[in-house]
Amino acid sequence: MTKFLGQFKSNGLFFKMFIVMVVSIISVSVLITYNTIRMSEKLFMETFSITNYKVLSQIKTSFETFSFSIVRAANNVQQSGTVRKFLTADDTDSMSVMKNYYDIIQQMKGLSSPVDEYEVNMVITGLNGRAYSTNYYYWPTSEEDLKTDPITLNTLEEPNRLLYQYDPADEMKNYPSIVISKALVDRSTQNHYGVLYISIRESDFKQFYSNYTSEGNDVILLNPSGTVVSSNREDLLGIENNRLLEHAKEIEEMNLDYKDIEVFGKSHVMIAEYLPTYGMYLVNLIDRESVTNNIVDTKAIVMISIFIVSVALLIVYFISRRLTKSLTMLVQEISNMAKYNFGQYVTVKGSYETKELANAFNYMLDELHDYVEQLVETQKKQRNAELAALQQQINPHFLYNTLTSVKIMVQQGNKEKSANTIHALISLLQNSIGNVSETVTVEEELEMMKNYIYINQVRYGDRIKVNYFISPDCLPYQLPKLILQPFIENAFFHGFNRKYEGYIHILIAEKDNKLICEVIDNGDGMEVNASKEIQSHKNKRHLFSGIGIRNVDERIKLLYGEEFGIEILSEVGEGTRIIIQLPLITDRNNAKI
């Protein structure tokens, strides 16, 4: 018991709010679930009844009216002697041909009267190669295409039936159509002499049932192959769905009122009926989710939810207000703290939870303060170590080769040139092993670079020219000591392995409030990747310091920020361009070294 009381005391706020929320959620869930189930069952059955008996019966009536008109028109054409003569006559003179066309035009006006109220096209074709269309606009097709069209072939296989067939959209017809076809047969010989086509656009055909559809209440007309011939959902047109066809056949064969199915990724109630006249299945799909959303009594649910939530909020408010007042004050005190002000502590007072939070926060501040101090000191030491390494690790081969060159010059009696070389080497060494925390001006850095370049030209001659392009305004600016030397040495010793001679340009100028230092050569060049870093391969350049360009770039970013650093532009055979971006610093005491 004592342990339980201790846990409850230390987590009292959590327990009380948790209990209140659990009770509220359970109450809301039970009441809403009960009310939703009760009303959903009642209203769903009513909606189902309306869909089953009203929608389908109205749609069937519309279909039968249209079918009756089609039958009358087809009978008129079948019984017309003018039509038969037009499709069978083999006229040889133009006058006879013109007379037959005139007669058929006049005749078809009367024969098509049963379907005049519908936007259809009546087409007749004959064995003699003649064809006539009452309204080419509604079904643009040619006689040649009709000869091999599946619609014609199916019609000739069943010459005694009116066939309702689906004609998909193509390049000539930008819309799908439903075509009713009938073979025109000579009753005495039972030989066919032509074919009648009555076409209606699917968009016009769906008007027979579109008024009886709504969201979640869809109508589909399936042909015997399972193809969707017509539907209020355009995304289903022309799709073959054998599973849906099987369900429709099962409902028809087993005389079911409806069937629950999973189709098109949703749960549906399916009603289906076979239309013998059309030779198709009329399917009505009711989306359970959509219908349920429409029939739920939202107002009742909202009112109950508001009542329960209001009561729960009042209880939570009065309980938590007293318990969390000190916590609120603590949060406000933390929010008002100055940024990075690690020495400001929060006041420890209030409830048990608030006191624990305040003590933990103050302890965290102490730990964070110690950690930051250690991190700053570590970074400072690391930075100085990198600078020392860069400034003091002079390549032994460089010293050896330089002293060897001086020895040869002394042996040859060229004392003045050897003295100048030794003087340049002494100046270079003095600046290299100096104070690592020191920066120099651009002018001082150039003097060191000139000494270094003089030594190299003494060793290798003047085959590599060095040119200086320095803006006078930049001479007082501060920069890290020997920041240019690694890149100049890189150009001297690795930039002209294939080329014997060339040039190195040193440019320093101010641009966009930055000090821009560039080292440009027209040497061998190298491959760099998309991020302007040197690729790792056998031709990779090695820097004078041994630290590498990436470390120099990271050191600049560490000193001055992410907006500064090194960019490399190079092409094999064309040369290399090193761009160093530094801040504008004129006071040595303000340099971040």
Query: Can you give the pLDDT at residue 339?
Result: 53
C-alpha 177/C-alpha 275 separation (Å) is: 19
Point out which residues pair with 163 in neighbouring strands: 181
C-alpha 102/C-alpha 82 separation (Å) is: 10
Domain range 393-590, CATH class: alpha beta
Query: Can you give the pLDDT at residue 545?
Result: 39
Confidence of residue 514 (pLDDT cuts 50, 70, 90): very high
Contact at 8 Å (CB) between 231 and 237?
A: yes
Q: Residue 146 pLDDT more than 70? A: yes
Q: How many helices (H) and strands (E) does the chain have?
A: 17, 17
Mean pLDDT of the chain: 78
Query: Can you give the pLDDT at residue 464?
Result: 87
Query: Can you give the pLDDT at residue 457?
Result: 80
Contact at 8 Å (CB) between 26 and 270?
A: no
C-alpha 469/C-alpha 461 separation (Å) is: 22
Query: Can you give the pLDDT at residue 472?
Result: 92
Query: Can you give the pLDDT at residue 549?
Result: 67
Contacts of residue 466, Cβ cutoff 8 Å, sequence gap at least 6: 453, 457, 503, 504, 505, 506
Q: Taking the model in full, what pTM does it have?
A: 0.46
Domain segments of the chain: what residues? 48-294, 393-590
C-alpha 152/C-alpha 181 separation (Å) is: 8
Q: Residue 587 pLDDT more than 80? A: no
Q: Residue 534 pLDDT more than 90? A: no
Contact at 8 Å (CB) between 473 and 581?
A: no
- In the block, tokens 């959620």 appear at 25
Overall average pLDDT of the 512-540 stretch: 71
Structure tokens at 196: 């009648």
Strand order in the sheet with 163-167: 131-133, 120-126, 192-201, 177-185, 163-167
Contact at 8 Å (CB) between 481 and 431?
A: yes
Contact at 8 Å (CB) between 358 and 347?
A: yes
Count of CB atoms within 10 A of residue 442's CB?
Answer: 21
Q: Residue 469 pLDDT more than 90? A: yes
C-alpha 121/C-alpha 250 separation (Å) is: 36
- Least Cα distance to 557 among 566, 548, 549 occurs for 566
C-alpha 438/C-alpha 593 separation (Å) is: 7
Count of CB atoms within 10 A of residue 382's CB?
Answer: 12
Confidence of residue 535 (pLDDT cuts 50, 70, 90): very low
Query: Can you give the pLDDT at residue 519?
Result: 93
Domain range 48-294, CATH class: alpha beta
Give per-residue pLDDT as tens, 345-398: 777 776 676 777 778 877 787 787 788 778 877 776 776 665 555 555 455 656
- Between the alpha carbon of residue 18 and those of residues 84, 311, 326, the distances in Å are 88, 15, 19
Element (H, E) at 261: strand 259-263
Point out which residues pair with 259 in neighbouring strands: 270
Query: Can you give the pLDDT at residue 542?
Result: 39
- Is the dihedral angle over the CA atoms 395, 399, 400, 401 positive or is it negative? positive
Phi-psi region of 318 (alpha: psi -120 to 50; beta: other; left: phi over 0): alpha
Burial of residue 397 (number of CB atoms within 10 Å: 0-12, 13-18, 19+): exposed
Contact at 8 Å (CB) between 510 and 516?
A: yes
- Between the alpha carbon of residue 139 and those of residues 111, 121, 134, 201, 540, the distances in Å are 18, 6, 10, 8, 72
Query: Can you give the pLDDT at residue 394?
Result: 52
Domains 48-294 and 393-590 share a fold: no
